[in-house]
């Protein structure tokens, strides 16, 4: 058994003729929290969809637990996905079900457990995210942070080996931010799973992750432990970590000269 649960090799992906990822290599070791960082639109979410098998690589390979995700048949892909959890950016809870039903969903779909056991498991998962008391609420009654915690409880319902988080920190208040980061670390350690966090929140994620990959324009530009990243003198990483407005990533979207567009100077 390989040490790496997720291995991405020379991965390229294009939507129609727009190249999103080119030659990406990365790996997530079992039991680690690995972050994939980069500015918005750099291909992070695409990368996650490739790992989950929702997209197929144009070139290269994605291996999860030794299986090449892009080459699996639908049936085998579904078998593999039962051991993966995914936390969507806004939770993606089923809005017509209560919190309890949401967490019980996969248990009911994939197992024939008796109702009492489903109940015990659901309450355990909800307790792990601190929302046992919210079991009868509907998703519309939850705050953004709570919805994400419920989604997390749902993602761990079948005790997966891998959880992928899509922007888990986006749009949270400072308290929820701390709670979420803490939960990701704690669940990874206590449940012995592997976590892949796609985020652009540097400060929060550097606190909890074991290893970081930086992606810019579809290429891995830097990688290392949080300590190495903080000390990095690569200009892109420096701009990102310290949140500087201008640097290798320009503030302005490509545009014709300002004066020219305002008609102040004729070309």
Partner 1 sequence: MLDGIAAILRRMGARTINSIWRLGLATRFFFLTLMYSGPSFRRFHLVIKEIFSSGVLSLVIILVSGLFVGMVLGLQGYETLQTYGAEESLGVLVSLSLVRELGPVVAALLFASRAGSAITAEIGLMKATEQISALEMMAVDPIARVVAPRFWGAVISMPLLAALFSAMGIFGGYLVGVVLIGVDEGAFWSQMQAAVDFQEDILNGVIKSVVFGGVVTVIALYEGYDAPPTAEGVSRATTRTVVTSSLAVLAWDFVLTSFMFRGV
- Contact positions vs partner 1 (CB under 8 A): 52, 54, 78-79, 81-82, 84-86, 88-90, 92-95, 105-106, 109-110
Given the complex with partner 1, which of 82 and 186 has the nearer CB atom?
82
CB of 128 to partner 1, least distance (A): 18
Give the H or E element holding residue 80.
helix 74-81
> Pairing relation of β-strands 194-199 and 33-37?
parallel
Q: Tell me how long the chain is.
A: 267
Nearer Cβ to partner 1 (80/212): 80
Q: For residues 114 and 239, what is the distance between their CA atoms, to the nearest angstrom? A: 54
Identity of the residue, 97 or 219, whose beta carbon is nearer to partner 1 in the bound complex: 97
- Looking at the Cβ atoms of 33 and 86, the one nearer to partner 1 is 86
**Closest CB to partner 1 among 115 and 246?**
115
CA–CA distance, 55 with 15 (Å, rounded to integer): 10
From residue 141, alpha-carbon distances to 64, 95, 178, 197 in Å are: 36, 10, 22, 26
Of the two residues 147 and 179, which places its CB atom closer to partner 1 in the complex?
147
Taking the C-alpha atoms of residue 63 and residue 131, their distance in angstroms, rounded to an integer, is: 34
Rounded to an integer, what distance in angstroms lies between the CA atom of residue 170 and that of residue 177?
A: 9
CB of 245 to partner 1, least distance (A): 29
CB of 78 to partner 1, least distance (A): 4
Alpha carbon distance 42, 155 (integer Å): 25
In whole angstroms, the minimum distance from the beta carbon of 259 to partner 1 comes to 35
Q: Least Å distance between CB 214 and partner 1?
A: 25
Task: Name which of 78 and 258 has its Cβ closer to partner 1.
Answer: 78
- Smallest gap from Cβ 48 to partner 1, in A, equals 10
- Percentages (nearest 5) of helix, strand, coil residues in the chain: 40, 25, 35
Minimum CB distance to partner 1, residue 108 (Å):
9
C-alpha 153/C-alpha 252 separation (Å) is 40
CA-based nearest residue to 219, from 25, 15, 6, 14: 25
Contact 236, 249 (CB under 8 A): yes
Residue 139 CB, nearest distance to partner 1 (Å)? 10
Contact 169, 134 (CB under 8 A): no
Look up residue 241 and give its DSSP letter: H
- Measured from the CB atom, the residue of 137 and 219 that comes closer to partner 1 is 137
């Amino acid at each position: 058994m390989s040490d790496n649960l997720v291995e991405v090799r020379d991965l390229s992906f294009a939507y129609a003729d727009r190249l999103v990822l080119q030659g990406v290599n990365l790996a997530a070791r079992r039991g680690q929290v690995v972050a994939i960082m980069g500015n918005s639109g750099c291909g992070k979410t695409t990368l996650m969809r490739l790992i989950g098998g929702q997209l197929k690589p144009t070139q290269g390979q994605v291996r999860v637990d030794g299986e090449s995700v892009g080459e699996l048949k639908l049936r085998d892909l579904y078998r593999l996905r039962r051991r993966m959890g995914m936390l969507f950016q806004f939770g993606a809870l089923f809005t017509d079900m209560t919190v309890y039903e949401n967490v019980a969903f996969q248990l009911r779909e994939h197992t024939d457990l008796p109702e009492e056991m489903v109940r015990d498991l659901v309450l355990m998962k909800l307790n792990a995210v601190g929302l046992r008391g919210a079991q009868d609420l509907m998703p519309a009654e939850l705050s953004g942070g709570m919805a994400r915690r419920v989604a997390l409880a749902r993602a761990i319902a079948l005790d997966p080996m891998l959880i992928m988080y899509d922007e888990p920190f986006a749009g949270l208040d400072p308290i929820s931010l701390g709670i979420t980061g803490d939960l990701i670390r704690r669940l990874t350690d206590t449940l012995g799973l592997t976590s892949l966090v796609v985020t652009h929140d540097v400060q929060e994620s550097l606190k909890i992750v074991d290893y970081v990959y930086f992606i810019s324009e579809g290429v891995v530009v830097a990688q290392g432990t949080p300590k190495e990243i903080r000390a990095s003198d690569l200009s892109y990483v420096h701009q990102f970590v310290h949140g500087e407005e201008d640097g290798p990533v320009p503030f302005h979207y490509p545009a014709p000269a300002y004066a020219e567009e305002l008609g102040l100077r004729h070309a």
